[in-house]
Amino acid sequence: MEIEVRSTAFANGGMIPSKYTCDGADISPPLGWGPLPPGTASTALISDDPDAPMGAWVHWVIYNIPSQARRLPENVPPEGVLPDGSTQGINDFRRIGYGGPCPPGGTHRYFFKLYALDTKLDLRPGATKKKLLKAMKGHVIGQGELMGRYRRGLS
């Protein structure tokens, strides 16, 4: 099932405001999503930049988001486990939580990919994207994505 993922901060394919990047406050943007498939036990989100010079750069890994949640607020704190039980992994900046766009040059694309899962994952805080993808294998029952772009000095 396709899930609509959106943000009040930028349109799909639009420019990400500098507030959400290394040139600004470097806080996570507000994200929301539409209905989830029946049987969803939790959701997970991976944000990455496939245009990074050394391959896809991971900006955010968050999993075990409760199935009743329909949004992630702006400025999710960089904590391993959030009050609602959502768990954050490590990004390629080697930090727990969100790390905003900071491209070395040119305009890069940033994907926010949401996965509906039929289970809650047995992963500790600080999991990598690779570990999350392995744990999700065979459990994805729906997904969607939002893509924003950023170029330093333009927003």
Q: pLDDT, tens digit, for every residue of 16-27?
A: 999 999 999 999
Query: What is the residue-averaged pLDDT of the chain?
Result: 96
Rounded mean pLDDT of 74-89?
98
SS (H, E, C) 30-63: CEEECCCCCCCCEEEEEEEECCCCCCCEEEEEEE
CATH of domain 5-150: 3.90.280.10
Is the pLDDT score of 65 beyond 80? yes
Q: pLDDT, tens digit, for every residue of 95-145?
A: 999 999 999 999 999 999 999 999 999 999 999 999 999 999 999 999 999
Distances 12 to 25, 64, 100, 134, 154 between C-alpha atoms, Å: 21, 24, 17, 27, 18
Cα–Cα distance measured from residue 146 to residue 38, given in angstroms and rounded to the nearest whole number: 22
Residues in CB range of 30: below 8 A, 6 or more apart:
7, 8, 9, 71, 72, 73, 74
Judge whether 33 and 70 are in contact, CB under 8 Å. yes
pTM, two decimals, is: 0.96
Specify the pLDDT at position 1: 84
Nearest to 93 by CA among 78, 106, 81: 78
Rounded mean pLDDT of 1-19?
97
pLDDT band (50, 70, 90) for residue 154: low
Domain ranges of the chain: 5-150
